[in-house]
Structure 1
């Protein structure tokens, strides 16, 4: 090409060469070259949905919807109150009250036998029956004897939940000792007394009435220290 070639001819030649260079790139793109960003995002979302569909329903639900505690920024995966205790507090306290000489295995076996007898007698779940009997046997107050200027003053005091439960269990076991002279085993006596409490025929109710009556008569001393 000489220097005298018109500028328009040069422009047409340059445009045709650029077009020829661009055509192979376009063809290679159509034949599987680098895909656009939207195609990559679409393919990644498709692979994610296909992988989540292979998981069990519970696991996929967990991945898509985390627990509320985690969503709220809690340090734990679940709240403290969401996890049940290892042992029932009332049942464990009942077992400790049955224990003698530190032999907790024997006390646990006796508790199991008592629950089994309750189930055989009523054909109901035994743990709610035991808890209900303990609640009915539990007083809400205690009466303290205080000395003040050579005089004994009876002062009522409120009990905490654990103190109430422990006193109810103690009265329940005390009421079951009345059948001891007949040679009846201890677990049978206790299970029978639990049924008596549920039927309202136990001596525990007499002790409850006496304590509440004494506390009522001495209610003016509740502010005494």
Structure 2
């Protein structure tokens, strides 16, 4: 083979290799970034275990909505969350919301009728039972069901709350725009109460955290 032809062949292979590297690098850049930050660290710290038994479960095992005195008023947990999560909320003498505006984080829907709202437990009571709460005291379960300090309680549209039921993020998710916040809140609650996650739940949470920016 003439020297010029051999040199041309070598150059072609080098350029082809460089082009492949550029392509490979671009392809990698398109991959979702691995989740990082406090929520990812908390998720990594959670114990992974299969879902536990539902034997003995009852919603009555988690006493709710307990008294939450506010400014001298005798409110319960549901009423306190409605007042906290709404805009322009008016309440009557019994602390019941009579008007206001609420945006359901799960759907983005604006609701002005408080009777169409549910107070959702971010980590459902039955899920908590399967992931460790079965062994708690009644007092601990009541604290969990009425927790206003962690992101465990949220006023949402009744439809999405009932569609969610006791499912974890591997089988139910809110609107995609809320995935980051939902996963972060779910992980924070499970971390605060040392609850376990299933392998499928953990994978779904990792995927949802990948939407955080």
- Structure 2 length normalisation: TM-score? 0.28
Q: Which has the higher contact order (CA 8 A, sep 6+)?
A: 2
More helix by share: 1
Higher strand fraction (1 or 2) = 2
User: Which structure has the larger Rg over C-alpha atoms?
Assistant: 1
